[in-house]
Amino acid sequence: MKQLSTKVTSNGHGQDSSYFLGWEEYEKNPYDEIKNPNGMIQMGLAENQLCFDLIESWLAKNPDAASLKRNGQSIFRELALFQDYHGMPEFKKAMAEFMEEIRGNRVTFDPKKIVLAAGSTSANETLMFCLAEPGDAFLLPTPYYPGFDRDLKWRTGAEIVPIHCSSSNGFQITESALQQAYQQAQKLDLKVKGVLVTNPSNPLGTALTRRELNLLVDFISSKNIHLISDEIYSGTMFGFEQFISVMDVLKDKKLENTEVSKRVHVVYSLSKDLGLPGFRVGAIYSNDEMIVSAATKMSSFGLVSSQTQYLLSALLSDKKFTSTYLEENQKRLKSRQKRLVSGLESAGITSLRSNAGLFCWVDMRHLLDTNTFEAELDLWKKIVYNVKLNISPGSSCHCTEPGWFRVCFANMSEDTLDLALKRLKNFVESTDCGRMISRSSHERLKSLRKKTVSNWVFRVSWTDRVPDER
């Protein structure tokens, strides 16, 4: 197939066929409270559906913003023609202020250092193009968002080397893990250009501690490399602790305006905090002018629609809205997470103590037949096909320990969540009964096992639906 590029004919787009199976099953048989109460409940989608009413009510009170008007006058022409890759100034200003508000106004963001992109997917890829050559590597703590394999590596040629984190310390990043990852990269003859963290973490649902952030800043300082902090979930922090951004740490360590601060870049998006993944709004924030300049030009390949920039600049400029929203959003997320956690507990399932995100990192190691990834996949299939819940297996997030699953809680109604928890409880209790599996179940599992292909397989021509969301 020399006609097409190797990017197309290889499988670097990263679509894992076993992960895809769960999605496919859901699409074939989606749960509906009325029309399909026995269908599959989607718990693999990290969407925030809890606060749309707040935005809808704002839209109803502020009709100009969506109708392409300003003070009652049509600005359609102005918006139709606006394609400046520097972005709409009012929008960048509103974004900068929103990012500040999320961080308790402890740090400031300069709108001139913001580069808009069509989603954080585009933002992350662009940063790779700016910071790494093909063959260079970035270190990422595991477990991490499966989409990174495509976003960071596919078209850029960059490599990912994992920083192994384990349950022994709540999956926190340690100095030795960082050093080991760095050495591993050297062994593989890869030049390390930086570290990329998601803070708060996907799939863990935990915010990085100050200690971890300090470690990271020290590490990149000593190795003279970059740090990308993807803070896409920064507005979903609902725990007692405040969200600490890497920007906070730079300020506290008095490292602003130093060489190190030029190597720290933040990625943000409105897809999770505001629940607007369809609008494609992402941003890169960098203290390095050259990066801002290059990334700005690269944003030509994925600009935010001016129609959308205008709507959201109006929304986010309304400080009454933003403060109410952030507060209410956190309240609802907290209460929803609590519901999931206690529901899991009553099924004898614990999860990593989390304080952010739209999901829990659930410990189902005790439900595995063996402490292996094959057993994890078996369990996952049971949960997909028998319990009819689509959840994400830890192996798809490159977790080094089998038995962990990411379970989302903010993309469904409370009733649906309750139902999902009931099903799970029934499943656990039935399995617990002697853990005896009937013959027919055995046969079923065997044939299921044959269906899976746990390696990366090139099936581009029909494996064409990927859970795009994080």
Partner 1 sequence: MGLLSKKATCNSHGQDSSYFLGWEEYEKNPYDEIKNPDGIIQMGLAENQLSFDLIESWLAKNPDAANFQREGQSIFRELALFQDYHGLPSFKNAMADFMSENRGNRVSFDPNKLVLTAGATPANETLMFCLANPGDAFLLPTPYYPGFDRDLKWRTGVEIVPIQCTSANGFRITKSALEEAYEQAQKLNLKVKGVLITNPSNPLGTTMTRIELNHLLDFISRKNLHLISDEIYSGTVFNSPGFISVMEVLKEKKLENTDVFKRVHIVYSLSKDLGLPGFRVGVIYSNDDIVVAAATKMSSFGLISSQTQYLLSALLSDKNFTSNYLKENQIRLKNRHKKLVSGLETAGIECLKSNGGLFCWVDMRHLLTSNTFEAEIELWKKIVYEVKLNISPGSSCHCNEPGWFRVCFANMSEETLKVALNRLKMFVDGPSSTTRSQSEHQRLKSLRKMKISNWVFRLSFHDREPEER
Of the residues 93, 113, 193, 272, which is catalytic? 272
CB of 41 to partner 1, least distance (A): 16
Choose, from 16, 149, 151, 230, the residue flagged as catalytic: 230
| Shortest separation between residue 240's beta carbon and partner 1, angstroms | 29
For residues 396 and 99, what is the distance between their CA atoms, to the nearest angstrom?
30
Residue among 31, 144, 145, 182 flagged as catalytic: 145
Residue among 22, 235, 275, 402 that touches partner 1 (CB under 8 A): 275
> Residue 93, interface with partner 1 (CB under 8 A)?
no
Smallest separation, CB 170 to partner 1 (Å) = 31
Region near partner 1 per CB under 8 A, out of 22-30, 304-312, 417-425, 449-457: 304-312
Q: Indicate if 145 belongs to the active site.
A: yes
Active site residue 363: no
Nearest approach, Cβ of residue 143 and partner 1 (Å) = 21
Between 164 and 470, name the residue whose CB sits nearer to partner 1.
470
Smallest distance from partner 1 to CB 396, Å: 17
Residue of the chain from 111, 235, 277, 393 that contacts partner 1 (CB under 8 A)? 277
Task: Note whether 92 and 116 are within 8 A (CB).
Answer: yes
Q: Say which of 41, 228, 232, 244 is annotated catalytic.
A: 232
Find the binding residues for partner 1 in span 223-252 (CB under 8 A).
224, 226
Rank residues 203 and 467 by Cβ distance to partner 1 and give the closer one. 467
| Residue 33 contacts partner 1 per CB under 8 A | no
> Please, which residue, 448 or 457, has the CB nearer to partner 1?
457
3-state secondary structure the chain: CCCCCHHHHCCCCCCCHHHHHHHHHHHHCECECCCECCCEEECCCCCCCCCHHHHHHHHHHCCCCCCCEECCEECHHHHHHCCCCCCCHHHHHHHHHHHHHHCCCCCCCCHHHEEEECCHHHHHHHHHHHHCCCCCEEEEECCCCCCHHHHHHCCCCCEEEEECCCHHHCCCCCHHHHHHHHHHHHHCCCCEEEEEEECCCCCCCCCCCHHHHHHHHHHHHHHCCEEEEECCCHHHCCCCCCCCCHHHHHHHCCCCCCCHHHHEEEEEECCCCCCCHHHCCEEEEECCHHHHHHHHHHHHHCCCCHHHHHHHHHHHHCHHHHHHHHHHHHHHHHHHHHHHHHHHHCCCCEECCCCCCCEEEEECHHHCCCCCHHHHHHHHHHHHHCCCEECEEHHHHCCCCCCEEEEECCCCCHHHHHHHHHHHHHHHHHHHCCCCCCHHHHHHHHHHHHHCCCCCCCCCCCCCCCCCCC
**Considering only residues 31, 279, 404, 427, which one is a binding residue for partner 1 as defined by CB under 8 A?**
279
* Catalytic status, residue 110: no
Q: Does residue 297 bind partner 1 (CB under 8 A)?
A: yes
> Given strand 404-408, what is the order of strands in its sheet?
350-351, 359-363, 404-408, 392-393
Near partner 1 in 443-462, by CB under 8 A? 460-462
Q: Verify binding: residue 129, partner 1, rule CB under 8 A.
A: yes
- Residue 307 near partner 1 by CB under 8 A: yes
Residues contacting 61, CB < 8 A, separation 6+: none
CB of 243 to partner 1, least distance (A): 23
Cβ proximity to partner 1, 75 vs 375, nearer residue = 75
* 466 is a contact residue toward partner 1 (CB under 8 A): yes
Give me the 150-189 binding string for partner 1, x by CB under 8 A, dash otherwise: xx--xx----------------------------------
**Residue numbers 424-443 binding partner 1 by CB under 8 A:** none
Which of 32, 186, 301, 437 is in the footprint of partner 1 by CB under 8 A? 301
387 near partner 1, judged by CB under 8 A:
no
For residue 57, state whether it binds partner 1 (rule: CB under 8 A): no
Question: What count of Cα atoms within 13 Å lies in the side-chain half-sphere of residue 203?
Answer: 34
Q: Rule CB under 8 A: choose which of 40, 46, 47, 190 binds partner 1.
A: 47
Provide, rounded to whole angstroms, the least separation between the CB of residue 142 and partner 1: 22
Beta bridge partner(s), residue 351: 362
- Indicate whether 86 belongs to the interface with partner 1 (CB under 8 A): yes
Binding-residue total with partner 1 (CB under 8 A): 86
Which residues does residue 266 pair with via DSSP β-bridges, in sequence order? 229, 285
Distances from the Cα of 223 to the Cα of 191, 227, 290, angstroms: 11, 11, 21
The only residue of 108, 257, 290, 453 in contact with partner 1, by rule CB under 8 A? 290
Stretch that binds partner 1, among 305-313, 349-357, 363-371, 443-451 (CB under 8 A): 305-313
Could you confirm whether 272 is annotated as catalytic?
Answer: yes
Catalytic residues: 145, 230, 232, 272
